[in-house]
Structure formats: structure tokens, C-alpha cells
Amino acid sequence: MGAECTGKTTLAQALSIQLGGLWVSEYLRTFCDQHGRTPRQIEQAHILAMQWHQENEALARAEQQHQAFVFCDTAPLLTAIYSDCVFGDQSLYPQARALHTRYALTLHLAPDIPWVADGLQRDGNRQRAHVHGLIEREFAALGVPVVPISGTPAQRMSTAIHAMRSLADSPQ
């Protein structure tokens, strides 16, 4: 999980290939591509629900396929954070916080890679730094297992693989 343009998609896809497992894309991107615009405030709950739905489908497939991991490009919590930032709407936080506690581990990507404009979703470096701080606040309040991910692409991958292998080796 991370603010915009922090390498979430790249890392999630790479981890699914390297460690085996399923990758869940970011529903927001699908929504923007289908509608040719960013969502309105009233559509934020739908974005959150669809992200959750995609993740549940992937979890069911992973169980059927005996896959150890499901790598999510983002999380419903990020939808709640953006709903707060963009619309001043904090109504999605309770549901998103509850959903986030189900993850075995969260990788938190730092905004230390160059910001690149990418279609409709990109707000810029200033917003990215603000969102990063809000994510940190949420993780601290939730007390969920989080591993910070930063550095070069190789460093990011190495840190993430180490965290995932540690998770796989720990008693469940």
C-alpha cells in the first residue's frame, strides 16, 4: 500500500511472479478507464466494495489453487483515505479499517521514487506526501503488521521478499 505513484502495481506484480501467488489489481484504475474520469464522492463506497470483492475472489482462487499468497495492488483503506483527502468524506474509514485488519502483512511503499503522471488518477507530489502521512497515521492507529518499503527497485524487492518469506516461515 502506498500513495499514488509509489510502485504498488510494479511491486505486487513482481512479488506474485517471484514468490508465486495471485495479484489483485487496483479497481480504481479499472473504474477510471471504464468511465474516462475519476470517481465522484458518491462512487467512493462502490470503489471500496469492488476492491474488497476482487480481493475476496482472489482469496477463493488462491485457496482452490493452493497458492500461499495473494498480493493486493492497494487496499480499501486507501480508498477511504482518498475519499477524505479529495472530498472531506470520512465515512468510509470504519469499514476500511475493519477490512484492513484481515491482511497478514502490509507493505508500505515510500514516496521516494520519481512521481510520474499516469492518466486520470495522478494528483502530484504534494498530494502524494500528504497521503503518505495519512497512511502512516492509519497504520499506527490500527497497529497492524507493516513493513516499510523504500529505496531502489532492487532494494524494494529485496525488503519485500524478505518480509514475505519471514511471514511464510512464521507459525500461523
How confident is the model over 1-10, as pLDDT tens digits? 999 889 999 9
Q: Give the rounded percent of residues in the chain with a pLDDT score beyond 70.
A: 94
C-beta separation of 149 from 110 below 8 A: yes
In terms of pLDDT, which residue wins out, 123 or 84?
84
pLDDT for 124 beyond 80:
no
Q: Can you tell me the mean pLDDT for 80-104?
A: 95
State residue 112's pLDDT score.
93
Report how many domains make up the chain: 1
pLDDT digits (tens, 9 = 90+) for 8-56: 999 999 999 999 899 999 999 999 999 999 999 999 999 999 999 999 9
Name the one residue in this structure whose C-alpha cell is 512521481.
Answer: 115
- Residue 2: inside a domain, yes or no? no
Q: What is the CATH number of the domain that holds 67?
A: 3.40.50
User: How many CA atoms lie within 13 Å of 69's alpha carbon, on the beta-carbon side?
Assistant: 25
- Residue 107: inside a domain, yes or no? yes
Categorize the per-residue pLDDT at 127 as very low, low, confident or very high, splitting at 50, 70 and 90.
confident
pLDDT for 74 beyond 90:
yes
State residue 118's pLDDT score.
67
- Residue 122: inside a domain, yes or no? yes
- Residue 51: inside a domain, yes or no? yes
Instruction: Determine the structural domain holding residue 26 and report its residue range.
Output: 8-169
Residue 1: count other Cβ atoms within 10 Å of its Cβ.
Answer: 23
Nearest C-alpha neighbor of 34 from the set 46, 23, 24: 46
- Residue 99: inside a domain, yes or no? yes
d(CA 132, CA 140): 12
- Residue 106: inside a domain, yes or no? yes
Categorize the per-residue pLDDT at 167 as very low, low, confident or very high, splitting at 50, 70 and 90.
confident
Q: Can you tell me the mean pLDDT for 152-172?
A: 85
